[in-house]
Amino acid sequence: MKRKIIKISEELCNGCGVCIPNCPEGALQLIDGKARLISDLFCDGLGACVGDCPLGAISVEEREAEAYDERRVMESIIAQGPNTIKAHLQHLKGHGEEKLYAQAVDVLRGKNLPVPVPEQEKLACGCPGTLSKVLEKTLPTLSVKVTGMVPSELRQWPVQLALLNPQAAYFEDADLLISADCVAHAIGDFHQQLLAGRILIIFCPKLDQRSDDYAEKLAEIFRRHKIRSITVAKMEVPCCGGTVMILQKALELAGKQIAITVHTVGIDGLISTEK
């Protein structure tokens, strides 16, 4: 059957093992100094490990693969203890996999094991980027309210990478802002701080699951146009690290070296910068 499944780049993987704990299904192991997908049966293709790879070596592809077997996965997970069971159930719930969740619960009940109650303060995948928080505003509000319309700094349309035309004239001699989707919603003055004077490209490195397509499209833009500079804006959560990794892969594909500035945005809207 054809389905989504994890793909690991032999060239990019350095065997650091960061991805291993983030796959409670046990589909990944370190073998001969590299992370390996040991069985299609154990990989659900939901990508919990993708955002945790510091080198961008893991992506999701669609290919012929053996069907995922939740019941066999649960046999392995049960042996790892209650915390792993809970993490796996949260993972399934968070991705809306109600059928697989029901199968997992059925296995637990068949063995007379307790079924953990998913935490209400998290989306069920348990990823740090999905942790629910109330942001307490300790900074004073502006004493002078802005009145009237604040002009937009957007210089082109569309902005989503999947919709962009690499041949568009506005890319020539441009300063680019490559931004993860959530950034603009975390920064109160996104247009003034980051967007002014730049051409905007947005995507989500975790949810879009098109990392190879995105890298190739960016590479095509770089091949066709002279790009003066690239500014990257990403969120502080681990899954957003893929923004930089996709960009680096695109530059490698295009054979280009372009100055990059990376802004990491906290969920509180504060920015840290590195070059």
Domain annotation for the chain: domains and CATH numbers: 2-128 (3.30.70.20), 161-274 (3.40.50)
Report the distance separating Cα 224 and Cα 53, nearest Å. Answer: 30
Cis upstream peptide for 158 (omega within 30°): yes
pLDDT at 209: 66
pLDDT at 176: 97
Structure-block tokens of residue 75: 């046999």
This prediction's pTM: 0.56
Q: What is the CA radius of gyration of the chain?
A: 21
Q: What is the SS3 assignment for 250? A: helix
Give the distance, in angstroms, between the CA of residue 207 and the centroid of all CA atoms in the same chain.
6
pLDDT at 205: 81
pLDDT at 232: 95
pLDDT at 257: 92
Encode the chain (275 residues) as per-residue pLDDT tens digits: 788 888 888 888 888 887 877 776 777 877 778 888 877 777 888 777 776 688 888 888 888 887 888 888 888 778 777 877 887 787 777 767 788 889 989 999 999 999 887 654 444 444 555 554 555 555 555 445 556 677 899 999 999 999 999 999 999 999 999 999 999 999 988 999 999 999 999 998 877 767 788 999 999 999 999 999 999 999 987 768 788 888 988 999 999 999 899 999 988 888 887 75
pLDDT at 153: 93
Report the distance separating Cα 213 and Cα 166, nearest Å. Answer: 13
Q: Are 122 and 91 in contact (CB under 8 A)?
A: no
pLDDT at 217: 94
Helix (H) or strand (E) holding 261: strand 260-265
